[in-house]
Amino acid sequence: MALGVLSAFSETGIKVPDDVSVLGFDGLPETEFYNPPLSTIYQDFGALGEIAVEYLLDIINRPNAEPNRYILKPILVSRKSTKALASKG
């Protein structure tokens, strides 16, 4: 979706990131090669899959127990489709 937004803004003369910032989600590797390179929220899908299997096995092996909780933090990958806002004060 974010790549489509970049394309639409380019066609209408809206400058990214001067007029508007665009941020994607999922961290697809090819997004760094677009113009401008897309800032994104990266998720480690391999780790997410491993955690999902561990969670499922925990539920199967201990059906009456409270399942373990897992947290997988996303990573902000800042590229040229976003710019820092000026701080006030």
Q: What is the pLDDT of residue 41?
A: 92
User: Is it the case that residue 89 has pLDDT exceeding 90?
Assistant: no
Report field, pTM of the whole predicted structure over 0.85:
no
Q: What is the distance between the alpha carbons of residues 39 and 16, in angstroms, rounded to a whole number?
A: 11
Contact 46, 28 (CB under 8 A): no
Q: What is the pLDDT of residue 38?
A: 94
In sequence order, the 6+-apart residues with CB closer than 8 A to the CB of 85 are none
pLDDT in tens, 26-85: 878 888 898 899 999 998 889 999 999 998 998 899 989 887 788 888 999 999 999 987
